[in-house]
Chain A
Amino acid sequence: MQVDVVHLKKYFGSTRAVDDISFSFGSGRIFGFVGPNGAGKTTAIRIMATLLDPLEGDVLVDGISVVEEPEKARHLLGYMPDSLPTHSDMTVHDYLDFFARAFGINSKRRHSVVEEVEQFANLMQIREKFLKALSKGMKQRVSLARSLVHNPSVLIMDEPASGLDPRARVELRELLKILADQGKAILISSHILTELAEICHGAVIIEQGKILQAGSIDELNELMQQRRIITVRPIAKLDEMYKELLQTPHVEQVSYAGAALEIETLGGEEISSDILAQLVKKGYRIAEFRQEQADLEDIFMNLTKGEVQ
């Protein structure tokens, strides 16, 4: 199963919500769709879920176009929106049963299918509870179960972790890992990057409708290796070292971080080593010298400017 987003465009008047984005993700992979608020994530996701028509481009789910054959594509797609279930006067079981019916699952299979997703999402204990009586975390689980009720090969999730407490987030993460292990292709949009960094195999970073960077987490990390942050803590002469570093080649930026300095450099490990050697040669006594490991959040913060249209 492969999902190909091909030159997707969607404009709302003069606002370019999605501006020619292309990327792919496949079975057994969790792909992060990262961007600040207003970046165009939800618009792109709604196009993928067949809810919006693109201005140009297409999304091919295993070769099936969401533009040409949305009905076929819907059988393959599970969509979890950023809004929670609002049918407050329905029980969890009836809610899931309704969506199973809406997907045309016949009564023979429906009972077992609904029970399976209830078990998977750990909803068996609360299946007879009304939706209005559920917490946000529980509702998110119901929403996840709903998107799985027709056993889709692709799962598209719009901000599933927003508003969840830490425990619910961990549980959601575990469920997503299981689903990826089952061979589902998962696209998950979020701006809570710590969530994604731990479970994603790859990510697309988007801002103002354009892709800033895309690739596997390793590829993105490699990219970040070029731009690294070094923390240096001298025993003394902090201000003197600050001035010294500003004149050092390959140093992009220097800032105070308590009793230490944070140096942003462009280049590999050799550059870091050269900086350390130069500081020692100039007579500074170094108590601490460490390179920060770049994570998805660093990549995101570095690439995006937080601008909206």
Chain B
Amino acid sequence: MITFSGLANRFEGMINPIAVKELRQAVQGKFIMGILLLFLTVAVIILGVVSMLYGEEFNDFNSGRDIFLVFLGLLMGTCLLFLPLCAGVRLSFERADNVDLLYATTLKAGAIIRGKLLSSTILCVIIYSICTPFMTLTYLLRGIDLLSIFFCLGASFLMMVGVFQIVLFLASLPVNRWFKLLLAGGVLFGMTMLLVGAIILAEDLLRSGIGSMMTTREFWLVLGLILVLVGMAEGLLYVLSVAIISPSTVNRALPVRLYLTSIWLLTGAACVGCAFYYVAYEVIMIWGISSLIIFGLTLMASISEREVLGPRIRRSIPQKPLRRMAAFFFYSGAGGGFLWCTLILAVTFGVMTYSMPFFPRFPRLGFSYTVEALNFDVACVLLYFAGYALMGAFVRRKFLSRWFRTDMTWGIAAILTVIFCVVPIVIAFFLKVNLDYESNYMWYLGNPGAIFWFSRYSERFLIAGSVWAGLGLLLNLRWLINQINQFQPLNNHKAVREGS
């Protein structure tokens, strides 16, 4: 008895405080009870209506499947609309009102997000556990088997958990009330689309017969791949949420950059291995292109990071030069972030290019569009990206620092991109230049995507991209060197001495 009590105490101590709080709030707010009653009422009404309408046809070959799909729609609709909304809105309000209090405790930002995710998942388990028996009873009717029922329930449950993490990420974003409302509208629309898509997919799978698919190797391969990809995306959203709600005094970039670097390395190693094993360059291409897109976007976010490190972060900078050099890439800071992204982009591009001679054949991308051309175009787009990011940083720092904080650099870079894409075309319009002629490509030289339309002049676009990126680097060189030089550890109590 004593051992049991000790174990119970130990277990209770391990439970995430945020999860306990959230569950208590949910129960005391009568939210869950309300949802369950609503679900059961609607389910009984629908079942009654269907029974009356079907009558004798209730014994046809599809009745079990049809009723299961109705129940599944109801269950997913209930969970998709209410649970994420509840978790998201609560986190959003706490972010606005009193998150400081959480930081004054010994709770970590990660524990806050994990607690929110856990509580939403537990609420989802409660609702599912109540509904599963009803849904399993559809097996007694025709057109569905137990394996399919459990597969659909399991898959939909995993989808719910994924949606909870997405909503928690969106709720963590530090945006104003109007943007939050806009986000909530977007989430609601997205949920509806997801619900409709999931039901259509479930119907398709049930019609095809999930049981028979499960015996094939491809089914498990595809399922495994989807789970791994979704898991990686969810992991990224988790570390991003943690970074966003972490206090600005800590090294927020570290978990995000470590996670992205690990995923990039792991997937890279796996894809290169697979490509060589199956002699299929496509695998490297898919990995490369997705990495370039992800890190191209991360480049914009990284350039918007802080330029001055606080004493708490500086005190954790390693003393030894080699370790400090490595740490520079993983510490919050625009300079480190830019170099980290650039390095990964360069290595990815290098792998894509230098692995080509090892493959005898390449996938066909179009009538005359080769893999080499694609790699060339992608390199060009990346140069444009780097150029605009660096120009954005320069313009903000030199001319707009009074009005725009560092975290708005990406916005300035985006505005510059739009300006350089649109203004030449407007000028060309007034000069009555016929933009339909391919030879007038120069009016599009500011547009990073235009290289895909003017493949004949891709070298010119590459030159323009290189000049743009080079100019950006030149204008920011001093700043970048300063960032590297300033990345020095703060001696203990130096701050105190400075002030005395």
Render B212-255 as a binary contact track against A, CB cut-off 8 A, 1 for contact.
00000000000000000000000000000000000111000000
A131 to chain B, nearest CB (A): 11
Bound-complex Cα distance A74 to B17 (A): 17
Bound-complex Cα distance A228 to B434 (A): 86
Of the listed stretches B177-185, B260-268, B277-285, B490-498, name the one at the interface; the rest are far from the partner chain: B490-498
A139 to chain B, nearest CB (A): 12
Bound-complex Cα distance A103 to B107 (A): 7
A215 at the interface (CB under 8 A from B): no
Contact status A20-B499, CB under 8 Å:
yes
**A67-B106 CB under 8 A given contacts A57-B496, A98-B17, A102-B17:** no
Contact status A56-B101, CB under 8 Å:
no
**A51-B104 CB under 8 A given contacts A6-B499, A68-B315:** yes
Contact status B499-A56, CB under 8 Å:
yes
B312 at the interface (CB under 8 A from A): yes
A87: which B residues are within 8 A, CB to CB? 21, 25, 98
Question: Which residues A101-129 have CB closer than 8 A to chain B?
Answer: 101-104, 106-108
Contact status B310-A83, CB under 8 Å:
no
B309 to chain A, nearest CB (A): 10
Contact status B29-A89, CB under 8 Å:
yes
Question: Which residues B453-496 have CB closer than 8 A to chain A?
Answer: 492-493, 495-496
Which of A51, A58, A85, A130 touches B493 (beta carbons < 8 Å)?
A: A58
Bound-complex Cα distance A71 to B106 (A): 6
B9 at the interface (CB under 8 A from A): yes
B363 at the interface (CB under 8 A from A): no
Which of B21, B28, B311 touches A53 (beta carbons < 8 Å)?
A: B311
Bound-complex Cα distance A20 to B94 (A): 32
Contact status B28-A90, CB under 8 Å:
yes
Bound-complex Cα distance A104 to B13 (A): 8
In the complex, which residue of chain B has the Cβ closest to the Cβ of A85?
A: B98
**A50-B103 CB under 8 A given contacts A67-B312, A87-B25:** yes
Bound-complex Cα distance A70 to B250 (A): 10
Which of A70, A90, A107 touches B21 (beta carbons < 8 Å)?
A: A90
B105 at the interface (CB under 8 A from A): yes
B361 at the interface (CB under 8 A from A): no
Contact status B20-A54, CB under 8 Å:
no
Question: Which residues B92-108 have CB closer than 8 A to chain A?
Answer: 93-94, 97-98, 100-107
B208: which A residues are within 8 A, CB to CB? none
B60 at the interface (CB under 8 A from A): no
Contact status A51-B103, CB under 8 Å:
yes
A58: which B residues are within 8 A, CB to CB? 493, 495-496
B52 to chain A, nearest CB (A): 40
B176 at the interface (CB under 8 A from A): no
Render A1-42 as a binary contact track against B, CB cut-off 8 A, 1 for contact.
000001111000000000010100000000000000000000
Q: Which of B21, B104, B105 has the most C-beta atoms of chain A within 10 angstroms of its own C-beta?
A: B104
Chain B interface extent, by class: 35 or more
Q: Which of A57, A85, A108 has the most C-beta atoms of chain B within 10 angstroms of its own C-beta?
A: A57
Which of A9, A86, A91 touches B97 (beta carbons < 8 Å)?
A: A86
B12 at the interface (CB under 8 A from A): yes
Which of A9, A51, A81 touches B247 (beta carbons < 8 Å)?
A: A51
B198 to chain A, nearest CB (A): 31
Bound-complex Cα distance A54 to B44 (A): 61
Question: Which residues B12-70 have CB closer than 8 A to chain A?
Answer: 12-13, 15, 17, 20-21, 24-25, 28-29
Task: Count A-side interface residues using an 8 Å CB cutoff.
Answer: 46
B129: which A residues are within 8 A, CB to CB? none
B500 at the interface (CB under 8 A from A): yes
Bound-complex Cα distance A103 to B102 (A): 10
Judged by DSSP, the binding face of A is: mixed
Contact status A7-B98, CB under 8 Å:
no
B248: which A residues are within 8 A, CB to CB? 53
A22 to chain B, nearest CB (A): 8
Bound-complex Cα distance A61 to B13 (A): 28
Bound-complex Cα distance A180 to B162 (A): 50
Question: Which residues A65-79 have CB closer than 8 A to chain B?
Answer: 65, 67-68, 70-71, 74-75, 77, 79
B160 to chain A, nearest CB (A): 23
Which of B101, B105, B311 touches A67 (beta carbons < 8 Å)?
A: B311
A21 to chain B, nearest CB (A): 9
Contact status B21-A98, CB under 8 Å:
yes
Bound-complex Cα distance A79 to B103 (A): 11
Bound-complex Cα distance A22 to B94 (A): 33
Contact status B17-A79, CB under 8 Å:
no
B310: which A residues are within 8 A, CB to CB? 53
Render B74-106 as a binary contact track against A, CB cut-off 8 A, 1 for contact.
000000000000000000011001101111111
Contact status B312-A68, CB under 8 Å:
yes
B21: which A residues are within 8 A, CB to CB? 87, 90, 94, 98, 101
**A7-B17 CB under 8 A given contacts A51-B100, A81-B100:** no
In the complex, which residue of chain B has the Cβ closest to the Cβ of A68?
A: B315
Which of A7, A86, A94, A102 touches B105 (beta carbons < 8 Å)?
A: A102
Bound-complex Cα distance A107 to B5 (A): 11
Bound-complex Cα distance A55 to B498 (A): 11
Bound-complex Cα distance A52 to B249 (A): 7
Render A91-103 as a binary contact track against B, CB cut-off 8 A, 1 for contact.
1001000110111
Contact status A107-B13, CB under 8 Å:
yes
A74 to chain B, nearest CB (A): 6
B24: which A residues are within 8 A, CB to CB? 90, 94, 98
Contact status A57-B495, CB under 8 Å:
yes
A6: which B residues are within 8 A, CB to CB? 496, 499-500
A49 at the interface (CB under 8 A from B): yes
**A103-B105 CB under 8 A given contacts A68-B492, A70-B312, A86-B97:** yes
Which of B93, B103, B311 touches A54 (beta carbons < 8 Å)?
A: B311
B101: which A residues are within 8 A, CB to CB? 79, 81, 99, 146
Bound-complex Cα distance A8 to B499 (A): 8
A53: which B residues are within 8 A, CB to CB? 248-249, 310-312
Which of B97, B107, B315 touches A102 (beta carbons < 8 Å)?
A: B107
A60 to chain B, nearest CB (A): 9
**A67-B104 CB under 8 A given contacts A83-B98, A85-B98:** no
Which of B17, B98, B107 touches A86 (beta carbons < 8 Å)?
A: B98
Bound-complex Cα distance A297 to B28 (A): 46
Contact status B106-A101, CB under 8 Å:
no
B171 to chain A, nearest CB (A): 16
A275 to chain B, nearest CB (A): 44
A-B contact pairs, 11 of them (CB 8 A): A7-B498, A7-B500, A53-B311, A54-B311, A58-B493, A67-B312, A70-B249, A75-B106, A77-B104, A94-B28, A102-B107
Listed from nearest, the 9 A-B pairs whose CB atoms lie closest are A7-B499, A101-B17, A53-B249, A53-B310, A102-B105, A98-B21, A79-B104, A107-B12, A86-B97
